[in-house]
Chain A
Amino acid sequence: MAETITTRLLILGGGPGGYVAAIRAGQLGIETVLVEGDRLGGVCLIRGCIPSKALIHVASKFEAMAQAAHGANDGVSLAEPPLLDLGKTVAWKESIVDKLNSGVTGLLKRAKTRVISGWGTFSDAKTCHVETKDGQVTIKAETVILAAGSVATALPHIPFGGDVISSTEALALKKLPKRLAVIGAGYIGLELGSAFRKFGCEVSVVEALDRILPLYDEPLTKPVKAWLEKAGVSLHLSAKATGWEDGELIVDKGGEALRIPADKLLVTVGRRPRTEGWGLEAMGVDMAGGFVKVNERMQTSMSGVYAIGDLVGEPMLEHKATAQAHVAVEVIAGQNRRFDPATIAAVCFTEPEIVSAGLLPKDAEALGHDPVSAIFPFQANGRALAMEAGDTGGFVRVVARKADHRVVGLQAVGAHVSELSGEFAMSIEMGARLEDLAGTIHVHPTLSEAIHEASLRALGHPVHI
């Protein structure tokens, strides 16, 4: 049955960008149709952020219990080592995904969004054909928001398939591989690699650069590297994966050929915008370096066509996509909006966690801010010590301009520091100065006291160090 729908707004993609855009459009009274080829929620909810965090959580729990079986010094011990049923773990993770998926479905229903399930393909900028289980649906829209997201980048010489997997498959493994090789020491590779290590896998990580997590500076990554070494993850830096043969990853490490046997090979060399397979080429929008080119109002070069999220550029982060969704829809509703954040904070759920908002000291330096920076180690933070998080080498660092004490960067590495990201981003968005952070009473005993102390230290009068 062929059906033609005309609508004010068509959103392609039901990920965090697309579904948030649909909800906002509903609030603004804009008639909206959303097309999603998979389940609502996108990479983030279905096979990215949330599933990986669930897995990481279970892995940490398992690791703690395994340590207890060895007799831990906090007095908790187990008579026997814990048992892992990865199939059950994945099923539990799926139940969370289901919960979020039905939550999104409910929200869209409340927003009166019409959701069309099926693969959409544009024949021109305003016309989309969707193959649904009930036949083809053609949607003609006045305005379009493209939120097609991204896909994992494949290595041409080591294509996905068989035991070569992406993060999607890694999060759905029913059986724990004995040996896991990971290509890429970015945040996805290290988050998953670390989790599997905690489950007891033998994990090897191969990275072409001479360092891990290239987005962060050395002080921030040092505790992570230390954990990887302590945990027994084999880390091959400045090493190039050249092939995958007979269950062995072939690596060129400075001219020396290594063969790393593995049951699964996880390739996490980045993500690229999903620009193929849905008729983007028929829409007449300009591109910029592989991404769809947009202005600060999220408008593409084609009138009435907007694009948001991973499709339009780095950083490919859920919270950036949702922020852009608000901008796009409000612009469509006739409001004056620009996507102009002071910072997009980012978190790495490695062991320990890293969080960064604003500028690293070297970036602040390069931009001519003439920065002052100060760290406060969690070693001197009571709360960190009380939850066995004081000895990971973690710290909070504040970066400010010498001239006016304006805070331009806040970073931390340590257990649970991801939850500091809100204060970090807020401080920078509000244009806080060191005196503002130092003058805010931070609750004792919490990790956030380290922000206060780092600011005091930058001002030259720390208390606990």
Chain B
Amino acid sequence: MGRFVFKLPDLGEGTAEAEIVAWHAKLGDTISEDAPLVDMLTDKATVEMTSPVAGKLIEISGAPGDMAAVGAPIAIFEVEGAGNAKAETKPPPVAAPVPVPEAPVAAEVSEPRLVAVSEAATRAPVVAARAIPVRSEGEKPLASPAVRRRAEDLGVKLNHVVGTGPAGHITHEDLDAFIAGGGSGLGHASGLARRTAIEEVKVIGMRRAIARQMQEAKRRIPHFAYVEEVDMTELEELRVHLNATKRSDQPKLTLLPFLMRALARVLPAYPQINARFDDEAGVVHRHAGVHIGIATQTTNGLVVPVVKHAETLDIWNAAVEVARLAEIARSGKGSKEDLSGSTITITSLGPLGGVATTPVINHPEVAIIGPNKVVERPVVRHGQIAVRKMMNLSSSFDHRVVDGYDAAEFIQRVKAMLEHPATLFMD
């Protein structure tokens, strides 16, 4: 019998560490080679690591939420044959057990936890497994005055709470479990009830990646914002026309492909804006290719898939690519390739676009464009009040490498293209 130490391999593209999302095996499990072992989250994506060997898992390092460095041992197997490690290099596994939650770890990651209910969380399944409270119709629920008072404060009718105590006694823990199960929102509760629960949500996984990225961007980059209004009337007419006459195999067009087209056309004149700034090295990488990050809201949070070489895509192909990436982002199946390498980002809230935004630059890029909502507004045009489809175009730039004058000029060029959509297609 030998020991096999599994070290976290290089997950690519400069990843130095990764976060443990979920273990698929627990201590003592015997697993086969290539069986799912652990999910690791890098800055870019969740990667499922499979077991490198067949054997019994005798040691694991780290619980979900913990970071593991590349090259660090994350699991030790007991294997047939020699293994890859000498037994004495590590303390005996039995003497050094790593605490691992008994409950399925996935639940810990995705479920927010109420502060007061650590116990309730683990016993919730037990409660659920019980059939129905053993109270007959109209019988008063049994609970101490303190529990009754707390229930009133929370707006909970105890009739709906399962009592796990002797004789169906409702304990504080039962009330906690009921609330943790979302019970307090039942229609019977008073809308005026005082809400005192405080939820403790661990910032881990994707949320931690987003938090770190945002903090980094705001800490490092001196942002400045610029907002200009754009008359979208003609472009909207064109878009409606194209959607009405498109072939059935062509995608429905949103504003996005047009904006991408405009960026691809204008950016060559502003190489300092289509760039990635390695501020540690003090080097701006100005890209000839336009790689547009599309900020996408998913159930897990913000993801930015990247449309590579937008300058090569016509309107239709751009729409197809945006749709493909959105699907990938939402399903969480984005490859590293799909999720990295952008040189500028578009962040659009669509119908929620509002009047103006101050978007946060997707570090290490230096610019981000945020179209706001298109609305009909009265505007003065040729000395007349006219109803036009107006849209504000918000943007942020990294003032370290982009001057305000250049940024304004760049946005004015984009505006001109959007207002005269024919120019989008003229060389």
Residues of A within 8 A of B (CB): 334-338, 340, 342, 368, 401, 404-406, 429-431, 433, 435
Question: Does B337 reach chain A (CB closer than 8 Å)?
Answer: no
Chain B residue contacts of A368, Cβ below 8 A:
136
A405 to B167, Cβ gap below 8 A?
A: yes
What's the count of A-B pairs with C-beta under 8 Å? 40
Chain A residue contacts of B168, Cβ below 8 A:
404
CB closest residue in chain A, given B141: A431
A406 to B145, Cβ gap below 8 A?
A: no
CB closest residue in chain B, given A368: B136
CB closest residue in chain A, given B189: A336
Say how far A359's CB is from chain B's closest CB, in angstroms. 12
A404-B167, A433-B166 are contacts. A335–B144 as well, Cβ < 8 Å?
Answer: no
Say how far B121's CB is from chain A's closest CB, in angstroms. 25
CB closest residue in chain A, given B154: A336
Chain B residue contacts of A342, Cβ below 8 A:
140, 145
Closest 10 CB pairs of A and B: A404-B167, A406-B167, A431-B142, A336-B152, A430-B144, A431-B169, A336-B193, A429-B145, A433-B166, A336-B153
A404-B166, A431-B169, A433-B166 are contacts. A336–B190 as well, Cβ < 8 Å?
Answer: yes
Interface 1/0 per residue, B364-384 and A, CB below 8 Å: 000000000000000000000
B166 to A337, Cβ gap below 8 A?
A: no
Contact for A401 among B140, B152, B167, CB less than 8 A:
B167
Contact for B152 among A334, A338, A404, A405, CB less than 8 A:
A338
Say how far A99's CB is from chain B's closest CB, in angstroms. 31
Say how far B2's CB is from chain A's closest CB, in angstroms. 56
Contact for B143 among A337, A338, A431, CB less than 8 A:
A431
A-B contact pairs, 24 of them (CB 8 A): A334-B192, A335-B153, A336-B152, A336-B153, A336-B155, A336-B190, A336-B193, A336-B194, A337-B152, A338-B152, A340-B148, A342-B140, A342-B145, A401-B167, A404-B166, A404-B168, A405-B166, A406-B166, A429-B145, A431-B167, A431-B169, A433-B166, A433-B167, A435-B166
Secondary structure of the B contact surface, majority rule? loop
Say how far A399's CB is from chain B's closest CB, in angstroms. 14
Say how far B91's CB is from chain A's closest CB, in angstroms. 46
Looking at A338, A431, A435, which has the most chain B CB atoms within 10 Å of its CB?
A: A431
Chain A residue contacts of B136, Cβ below 8 A:
368
Give the complex CA separation of A433 and B168 in angstroms: 11
B144 to A429, Cβ gap below 8 A?
A: yes
Give the complex CA separation of A335 and B194 in angstroms: 7
Chain B residue contacts of A404, Cβ below 8 A:
166-168
Give the complex CA separation of A183 and B190 in angstroms: 49
Interface residues of B in 117-172 (CB under 8 A from A): 136, 140, 142-145, 148-149, 152-153, 155, 165-169
CB closest residue in chain A, given B192: A336
Chain B residue contacts of A406, Cβ below 8 A:
142, 166-167
Chain B residue contacts of A431, Cβ below 8 A:
142-144, 165, 167, 169
Say how far A422's CB is from chain B's closest CB, in angstroms. 13
Chain B residue contacts of A334, Cβ below 8 A:
192
CB closest residue in chain A, given B151: A336
Chain A residue contacts of B149, Cβ below 8 A:
337
Give the complex CA separation of A406 and B136 in angstroms: 15
Say how far B71's CB is from chain A's closest CB, in angstroms. 57
CB closest residue in chain B, given A342: B140
Interface residues of B in 161-185 (CB under 8 A from A): 165-169
Say how far A340's CB is from chain B's closest CB, in angstroms. 7
Chain B residue contacts of A337, Cβ below 8 A:
149, 152
Chain B residue contacts of A401, Cβ below 8 A:
167
Known contacts A336-B152, A340-B148, A431-B165; 10 additional CB pairs below 8 A are: A335-B152, A335-B153, A335-B194, A336-B155, A368-B136, A404-B166, A405-B167, A430-B144, A430-B145, A431-B169
Say how far B158's CB is from chain A's closest CB, in angstroms. 9
Chain B residue contacts of A433, Cβ below 8 A:
166-167
Chain A residue contacts of B148, Cβ below 8 A:
340
Give the complex CA separation of A337 and B190 in angstroms: 11
Chain B residue contacts of A340, Cβ below 8 A:
148
CB closest residue in chain A, given B142: A431
Interface 1/0 per residue, B191-234 and A, CB below 8 Å: 01110000000000000000000000000000000000000000
Say how far B353's CB is from chain A's closest CB, in angstroms. 39
Give the complex CA separation of A336 and B155 in angstroms: 7
Chain B residue contacts of A405, Cβ below 8 A:
166-167
Give the complex CA separation of A236 and B27 in angstroms: 83
CB closest residue in chain B, given A405: B167
Give the complex CA separation of A335 and B154 in angstroms: 10
Say how far B63's CB is from chain A's closest CB, in angstroms. 39
Give the complex CA separation of A105 and B193 in angstroms: 35
Say how far B157's CB is from chain A's closest CB, in angstroms. 10
Say how far A408's CB is from chain B's closest CB, in angstroms. 10
Give the complex CA separation of A430 and B152 in angstroms: 16
Say how far A420's CB is from chain B's closest CB, in angstroms. 19
Chain B residue contacts of A336, Cβ below 8 A:
152-153, 155, 190, 192-194
Say how far A25's CB is from chain B's closest CB, in angstroms. 19
Say how far B51's CB is from chain A's closest CB, in angstroms. 51
Chain B residue contacts of A435, Cβ below 8 A:
166
Give the complex CA separation of A430 and B149 in angstroms: 13
Say how far B139's CB is from chain A's closest CB, in angstroms. 9
CB closest residue in chain A, given B166: A433
Looking at A338, A430, A435, which has the most chain B CB atoms within 10 Å of its CB?
A: A430
Give the complex CA separation of A338 and B136 in angstroms: 22
Chain A residue contacts of B166, Cβ below 8 A:
404-406, 433, 435
Give the complex CA separation of A342 and B158 in angstroms: 14
Give the complex CA separation of A435 and B169 in angstroms: 14
Say how far B99's CB is from chain A's closest CB, in angstroms. 36
CB closest residue in chain A, given B149: A337
CB closest residue in chain B, given A338: B152
CB closest residue in chain A, given B140: A342
Chain B residue contacts of A430, Cβ below 8 A:
144-145
Interface residues of B in 262-310 (CB under 8 A from A): none
Give the complex CA separation of A404 and B190 in angstroms: 32
Give the complex CA separation of A433 and B193 in angstroms: 32
Give the complex CA separation of A336 and B169 in angstroms: 22
Chain A residue contacts of B153, Cβ below 8 A:
335-336
CB closest residue in chain B, given A406: B167
Give the complex CA separation of A134 and B198 in angstroms: 54
Give the complex CA separation of A335 and B152 in angstroms: 9
Looking at B140, B149, B168, which has the most chain A CB atoms within 10 Å of its CB?
A: B149
Chain A residue contacts of B190, Cβ below 8 A:
336
Say how far B90's CB is from chain A's closest CB, in angstroms. 50
Interface 1/0 per residue, B30-51 and A, CB below 8 Å: 0000000000000000000000
Say how far B62's CB is from chain A's closest CB, in angstroms. 44
Give the complex CA separation of A401 and B134 in angstroms: 14
Chain A residue contacts of B193, Cβ below 8 A:
336
Give the complex CA separation of A335 and B151 in angstroms: 12
Give the complex CA separation of A429 and B147 in angstroms: 11
Give the complex CA separation of A401 and B136 in angstroms: 14
Chain B residue contacts of A429, Cβ below 8 A:
144-145
Give the complex CA separation of A336 and B194 in angstroms: 7
Give the complex CA separation of A368 and B135 in angstroms: 13
Say how far A410's CB is from chain B's closest CB, in angstroms. 16
Give the complex CA separation of A404 and B169 in angstroms: 11
Chain A residue contacts of B144, Cβ below 8 A:
429-431
Give the complex CA separation of A401 and B167 in angstroms: 10
Give the complex CA separation of A429 and B146 in angstroms: 10
Say how far A78's CB is from chain B's closest CB, in angstroms. 48
Interface residues of B in 81-118 (CB under 8 A from A): none
